Amino acid sequence: MKLETIDYRADDAAAQFVQSLRETGFGVLSNHPINQALVESIYRDWYAFFQSDDKHNYRFNPSTQDGFFPADVSETAKGHQVKDIKEYFHVYPWGQIPATLKENILTYYREANALAAELLSWVEAHSPVEVKKGFNEPLPNMIDGSQKTLLRVLHYPPMTGEEEPGAIRAAAHEDINLLTVLPAANEPGLQVKAKDGSWLDVPSDFGNLIINIGDMLQEASGGYFPSTSHRVINPEGMDKTKSRISLPLFLHPRPDVVLSERYTADSYLMERLRELGVI
Ligand SMILES: O=C(O)CCC(=O)C(=O)O
Ligand SMILES: [Fe+2]
């Protein structure tokens, strides 16, 4: 099995994209409307920010979760013991954002959300009737006006040789949210677990847009759309000395959205955050 890249402008792009999501939990788009020059300037400016001491002036707020998370408080994926090798910044439009970085990152936030709403309408349009009937409201509606959607700017530092044994950039995990939208990072490493248990490279040609299903869409679709495990492996050889920057947008429904008979978006998120031990 291999992940195929889908041309966003193809006549049957929506059908192909939804089929890829259904089969692998991932969809990869080329020729999409996200401005690549904007993504590149975000990578460049935030790389400089992560290199500076200024980042420590934006330490995350534990109750609202916006701001800078240093490597020593970085996540440990569910079911793992060692921390990931990464630091990151959580951007919410209402949260702390360095003034010089604000305009570009909020433009990206807005544009990526607009595309995400369209992709959710593709998912809905290509869902079987029984699955569609289970959606309590149209999928694009679920994120409309949501204050919960999170843009994470990630910096994976170069390898030093001092890493904790077994630690990798991002240990295997599933995303909690509805869909995740991710421009290809400036370095490779992202892999998705196939049905046979093998790890596949996600095609990360610069300019591709990668979309994956999160647990909330799996829940809302009664398991029809699978939330698949993915990870970021450590670089080898010459790439060891390179940083990797990536920019996942985690689409979160409004808290009152009913996902299933068991969960609202809020009760689902709280249960997962409690399991992770972060609340
Ligand atoms: O850095 C990446 O390419 C993926 C990051 C990721 O999966 C996550 O932060 O949930
Ligand atoms: Fe992820």
Dihedral sign (CA 272, 167, 155, 2): negative
CB 230 within 8 A of CB 250: no
**What's the CA gap between 240 and 187, in Å, rounded?**
11
Predicted pLDDT at 188: 93
> Whose atoms come closest to the Cα of 190: which ligand?
1
Domain residue ranges in the chain? 5-276
Residue 190 CA to ligand 1 center (angstroms) comes to 7
pLDDT in tens, the chain (279 residues): 679 999 999 999 999 999 999 999 999 999 999 999 999 999 999 999 999 999 999 999 999 999 999 998 877 888 888 999 999 999 999 999 999 999 999 999 999 999 999 999 999 999 999 999 999 999 999 999 999 999 999 999 999 999 999 999 999 999 999 999 999 999 999 999 999 999 999 988 989 999 999 999 999 999 999 999 999 999 999 999 999 999 999 999 999 999 999 999 999 999 998 887 766
3-state helix, strand, coil in the chain (%, to 5): 35, 20, 45
> Does domain 5-276 bear CATH number 3.10.20.30?
no
Predicted pLDDT at 274: 85
Q: Residue 177: CB within 6 Å of ligand 1?
A: no
**What's the CA gap between 50 and 270, in Å, rounded?**
30
ipTM metric: 0.99
> Whose atoms come closest to the Cα of 227: which ligand?
2
Q: Residue 212: CB within 6 Å of ligand 1?
A: no
The size of the chain, in residues, is 279
Q: Residue 170: CB within 6 Å of ligand 1?
A: yes
CB 239 within 8 A of CB 164: no
Predicted pLDDT at 147: 97
Structure tokens at 242: 């390179």
Residue 168 CA to ligand 2 center (angstroms) comes to 13
Amino acid sitting at position 206:
F
